[in-house]
């Protein structure tokens, strides 16, 4: 039983769920949400976790045959035979529907719509597009950038222009992060039949150029919440300091094109976003 529960948890991709929680809470607080103890926020977090987890499960259901071909995904619960495909399908649908229902009843219809939209883009557009075009990364980045808008909409009932700053931060961040993953596992992705940038650009020229461009854009954009009065000086300074790490690794990778520097950049971007969100949240509540 414990092994089966663990397999179901692996299907939900807990690491992504943590990022969704942080970005949703940041959007909620920036929009004027009462506090981190607000009951509406608790329901919003629950609904977002359900929707995000369900999307992750359905993504693995759709890609189960491709995951089985790749070394870094062949041990996932479905290709490993720990969970039957139909069970994963039912589980994923149930989670997404539960998230939308909880948001509709306990938060508001805008939040419910954005949770559903996030799942739709991720499952219906992004997942199959990875086998068609390298632009899938940008489509997936749209889905991944919606949680702060969901938080904002939950708190205010509308999406103000300033909310798109948070969307843009998330959108930009995902490009160097996922291009790094794509390059680390480029041979695997080619075997799996994915048409991501690292597969169609085997020398990495475009991939490393895109990584550098998006990281260069991310650093000044991450300061915009302070510039437009959404946050205080503590966040402004913190965002600049945090931006140094991925920027240094991006520049280094652009010239070295080494696998070790790619992995370093991946780790830097992985640490950067949650750290930035925590600084955002702390700046809002302290």
Predicted local confidence at residue 14, as pLDDT: 87
Comparing C-alpha atoms, which of 128, 149, 148 is closest to residue 140?
128
Question: Are residue 82 and residue 136 in the same domain, yes or no?
Answer: yes
Question: Are residue 153 and residue 168 in the same domain, yes or no?
Answer: no
From 159, 184, 211, give the residue that closes a domain: 159
Predicted local confidence at residue 259, as pLDDT: 92
Predicted local confidence at residue 36, as pLDDT: 61
Instruction: Count CA atoms within 13 Å of residue 56 on its CB side.
Output: 22
Report in angstroms the alpha-carbon separations of 207 from 54, 56, 245.
Answer: 30, 25, 19
Question: Are residue 173 and residue 120 in the same domain, yes or no?
Answer: no
Predicted local confidence at residue 92, as pLDDT: 97
Domain residues for the domain of 270 are 161-286
Question: Are residue 144 and residue 165 in the same domain, yes or no?
Answer: no
- pTM listed for this prediction: 0.94
Question: Are residue 6 and residue 148 in the same domain, yes or no?
Answer: yes
Q: What is the CATH number of the domain that holds 252?
A: 1.20.120
Q: What is the CATH number of the domain that holds 105?
A: 1.10.357.140
Q: Which residues contact 173 (CB under 8 A, 6 or more apart)?
A: 214, 218, 269, 272, 273
Question: Are residue 91 and residue 77 in the same domain, yes or no?
Answer: yes
Question: Are residue 148 and residue 8 in the same domain, yes or no?
Answer: yes
Segments of the chain with pLDDT less than 50: none
Predicted local confidence at residue 35, as pLDDT: 65
Q: What is the 3-state secondary structure (H, E, C) of the chain?
A: CHHHHHHHHHHCCHHHHHHHHHHHHHHHHHCCCCCCCCHHHHHHHHHHHHHHHHHHHHHHHHCHHHHCCCCCCCCCCCCCCCCCHHHHHHHHHHHHHHHHHHHHHHCCHHHHHHHHHHHHHHHHHHHHHCCCCCCHHHHHHHHHCCHHHHHHHHHHCCCCCCHHHHHHHHHHHHHHHHHHHHHHCHHHHHHHCCCCHHHHCCCCHHHHHHHHHHHHHHHHHHCHHHHCCCCCHHHHHHHHHHHHHHHHHHHHHHHHCCHHHHHHHHHHHHHHHHHHHHHHHHHHHC
pLDDT tens-digit series, residues 236-281: 999 999 999 999 999 999 999 999 999 999 999 999 999 999 999 9
């Amino acid at each position: 039983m414990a092994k089966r529960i663990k397999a179901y948890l692996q299907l939900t991709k807990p690491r992504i769920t943590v990022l969704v929680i942080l970005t949703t809470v940041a959007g909620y607080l920036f929009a004027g949400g009462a506090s981190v103890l607000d009951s509406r926020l608790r329901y919003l977090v629950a609904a977002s976790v359900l929707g995000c987890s369900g999307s992750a499960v359905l993504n693995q259901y759709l890609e189960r045959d491709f995951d089985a071909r790749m070394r870094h995904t062949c041990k996932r619960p479905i290709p490993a035979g720990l969970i039957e495909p139909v069970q994963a399908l039912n589980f994923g649908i149930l989670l997404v529907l539960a998230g939308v229902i909880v948001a509709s009843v306990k938060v508001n219809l805008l939040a419910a719509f954005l949770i559903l939209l996030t799942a739709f883009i991720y499952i219906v557009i992004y997942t199959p597009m990875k086998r068609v075009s390298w632009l899938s990364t940008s489509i997936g980045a749209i889905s991944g950038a919606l949680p702060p808008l969901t938080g904002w909409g939950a708190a205010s009932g509308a999406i103000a222009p300033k909310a798109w700053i948070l969307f843009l931060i998330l959108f930009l961040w995902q490009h160097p992060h996922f291009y790094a993953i794509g390059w680390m596992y480029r041979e695997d992705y080619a075997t799996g039949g994915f048409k991501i940038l690292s597969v169609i650009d085997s020398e990495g020229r475009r991939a490393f150029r895109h990584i550098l461009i998006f990281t260069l854009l991310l650093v000044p954009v991450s300061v915009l919440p302070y510039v437009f009065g959404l946050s205080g000086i503590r966040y402004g300074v913190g965002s600049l300091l945090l931006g140094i790490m991925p920027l240094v690794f991006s520049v280094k990778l652009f010239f070295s094109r080494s696998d070790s520097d790619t992995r370093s950049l991946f780790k830097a971007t992985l640490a950067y976003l949650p750290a930035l969100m925590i600084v955002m949240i702390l700046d809002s509540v302290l």
